Structure formats: C-alpha cells, structure tokens
Amino acid sequence: MAEAPSNIDIDYVAGLARIHLTPEEKETFSVQLGDILHYFDKLNHVDVSGIEPTAHAFPAYNIWQEDVAEPAFAPGEALLNAPEQRQNQVVVPKVVEDA
C-alpha cells in the first residue's frame, strides 16, 4: 500500500459523499483514493496525438427508439410503491441545506 498523498482533503470528500468516517477509515480511504488518482495520472503520459475525441469506445448508431405517445399511469397507480406521498406527489427527504 502506498502512502496517502498530502493534498487529498478526505474530510471534504467524505462531506461530499455525506458519510462519516472514523480516523482509521480516513487513513485507509486516503491511501486508496491516492492510489486511484495515481493511476489517473498515468493517463497524462499516454500519447493520444492523432486520436479523435469520442463519447463511446465504438461507434453507436440508431440508438434512439421512436418517440411514441403511450397512455400514462393514473396517479394512484404511479404512487403505489412510494414510501410517502402527498397531493399525488412522492415525498422525499430534503437534500438542499439552508444557507
């Protein structure tokens, strides 16, 4: 296992992921994240001159299906598996924090 890079703010990364890490987990994940970033750094040494940028490794043709209007679910049917509902809408936990 490699040594954790000093420039990784594991607390910031854990905050983005909304997870609480113990000090032992912070050390472990710092090293693992550093190893992953080290592999990404190897890509900077690959000669890609003359290679066209692509969105897919292989050409993708005709991947869209026809846009055909179909009958929609009734609100009650669409909400059958919703854990909580109100006014024909699914109630979800708040994810935006107040400033």
Q: Is 34 part of a structural domain of the chain?
A: yes
Please tell me which residue, 82 or 4, carries the higher pLDDT value.
82
In this prediction the pTM is 0.45
Q: Is 64 part of a structural domain of the chain?
A: no
Q: Is 29 part of a structural domain of the chain?
A: yes
Q: Is 75 part of a structural domain of the chain?
A: no
For residues 66 and 43, give the distance between their C-alpha atoms in angstroms, rounded to a whole number: 39
Per-residue confidence (pLDDT) for residue 6, from 0 to 100: 61
Q: Is 69 part of a structural domain of the chain?
A: no
Q: Is 36 part of a structural domain of the chain?
A: yes
Per-residue confidence (pLDDT) for residue 91, from 0 to 100: 93
pLDDT at 99 over 80: no
- Its domain, for residue 32, covers 10-45
Per-residue confidence (pLDDT) for residue 98, from 0 to 100: 76
pLDDT at 3 over 70: no
What backbone torsions phi and psi does residue 36 show, to the nearest 5 degrees?
-65, -45
**Letter for the amino acid at 39?**
Y
Q: Is 16 part of a structural domain of the chain?
A: yes
Total number of domains in the chain: 1
Length, in residues, of the chain: 99
Q: pLDDT, tens digit, for every residue of 38-74?
A: 888 888 899 989 888 888 888 878 778 888 999 999 9
